[in-house]
């Protein structure tokens, strides 16, 4: 029986042991790392992989795209898709720094939490995402694609709005960029929000009760920070729709371990999809969201 091989391509100088472990547990016999990969070399590397086996053997070979730069990974994914030649194809799965599957988990939990609350999802909701890194950016894009009015909240002067603007253009959606560097601007981002998501750096409290007391419409809060203190005051590590009390009423809370558990199941399932799909699986972060949502609906 042929070995199932996953080629792990990253522009960085190392690969993630987390990703390797999940890939192995999901059925790949070999995970082969390629570090310091120039995005321009992706087409040639993918074609080396597809022509090494007979046509229509896409279940036995996979390409995983890692790294930390979501723009670079998106370009690598585009190049990998272009590299396919007729029946010579392989599965391709992009998940830079876990941002795609993490954001998929966040938005899927929020979407289902809203439906459970009043029968409506993200469409038409106001969503404030605090943290403009890869997870925050992908979360904002996914929420906007579901019809939400999304604002991406800048927490430091170093955050670059041009990065978000380029990513929004790539996925053809609108996300507002607002400052949240001060108590006043954080409050402004909270006043009319239905959903608040914190995807900022671990170990830093972003929102406390002095700001949350102004959130008059809030239904759901979600926090990715597993390192104390929580990013949002009152959110517990294992909260999965838990009710927490805020000054203006009770809201549903989703904590980092609930998000992380769905992220793990999503990544595991998408690795399995590469070697079980009826056609070559091409997995971007909107696909990860749909898969995460399907897990919740089972």
pLDDT of 1 higher than 80? no
pLDDT in tens, 48-57: 999 999 999 9
pLDDT in tens, 61-98: 999 999 988 889 999 999 999 999 999 999 999 999 99
The stretches of the chain forming alpha helices (DSSP H) are 17-25, 42-50, 70-82, 99-118, 134-145, 161-170, 183-190, 209-212, 256-276, 285-297
- If you write DSSP's letter for every residue of 134-185 in order, what string do you get? HHHHHHHHHHHHTT-EEEEEE-STT--HHHHHHHHHHTT---EEEE-SSHHH
Domains of the chain, each with CATH number or no CATH? 5-98+262-297 (3.40.50.10280), 102-258 (3.40.50.720)
3-state DSSP call for residue 89? Answer: coil
pLDDT of 19 higher than 90? yes
Tokens of 280: 């070559």
> How far is it between the farthest Cα atoms of the chain?
63
Tokens of 256: 């980092």
pLDDT in tens, 207-258: 999 999 999 999 999 999 999 999 999 999 999 999 999 888 899 999 999 9
Taking CA atoms, 75 is separated from 11, 81, 151, 167, in Å, by: 12, 10, 25, 11
Mean pLDDT of 104-130: 97
* Residue 254: predicted pLDDT: 98
β-strand pairing of 30-34 with 5-9:
parallel
β-strand pairing of 91-94 with 282-283:
parallel
- Cα(147)–Cα(92) distance, integer angstroms: 27
Q: What is the pTM of this model?
A: 0.95
Percent of the chain at pLDDT exceeding 90: 89
3-state DSSP call for residue 253? Answer: strand
Query: What is the overall mean pLDDT for the chain?
Result: 95
- Cα(117)–Cα(218) distance, integer angstroms: 12
pLDDT in tens, 157-192: 888 888 889 889 988 999 999 999 999 999 999 999
* Residue 126: predicted pLDDT: 98
């Amino acid at each position: 029986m042929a070995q199932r091989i996953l080629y792990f391509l990253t522009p960085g100088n190392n690969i993630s042991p987390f990703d390797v472990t999940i890939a192995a547990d999901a059925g790949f016999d070999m995970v082969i790392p390629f570090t310091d990969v120039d995005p321009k070399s992706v087409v040639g590397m993918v074609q080396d992989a597809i022509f090494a086996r007979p046509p229509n053997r896409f279940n036995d070979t996979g390409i995983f795209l890692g790294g930390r730069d979501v723009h670079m990974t998106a370009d690598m994914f585009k190049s990998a898709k272009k590299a396919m030649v007729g029946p010579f194809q392989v599965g391709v799965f992009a998940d830079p720094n876990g941002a795609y599957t993490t954001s998929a988990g966040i938005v899927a939990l929020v979407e289902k939490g809203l439906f459970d609350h009043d029968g409506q999802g993200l469409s038409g909701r106001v969503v404030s995402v605090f943290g403009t890194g890869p997870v925050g950016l992908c979360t904002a894009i996914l929420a906007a694609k579901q019809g939400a009015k999304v604002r991406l909240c800048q927490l430091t002067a170093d955050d670059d709005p041009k990065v978000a603007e380029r990513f929004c253009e790539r996925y053809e959606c609108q996300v507002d960029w607002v400052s949240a560097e001060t108590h006043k601007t954080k409050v402004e981002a909270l006043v009319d929000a239905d959903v608040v998501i914190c995807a900022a750096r671990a170990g830093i409290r972003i929102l406390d009760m002095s700001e949350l007391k102004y959130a008059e419409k809030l239904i759901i809060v979600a926090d990715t920070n597993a390192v104390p203190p929580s990013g949002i005051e009152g959110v517990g590590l294992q909260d999965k729709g838990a009710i927490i009390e805020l000054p203006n009423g009770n809201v549903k809370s989703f904590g980092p371990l609930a998000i992380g558990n769905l992220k793990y199941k999503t990544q595991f399932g998408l690795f399995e999809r590469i070697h079980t799909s009826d056609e070559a699986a091409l997995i971007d972060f909107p696909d990860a969201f749909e898969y995460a949502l399907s897990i919740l609906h089972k």
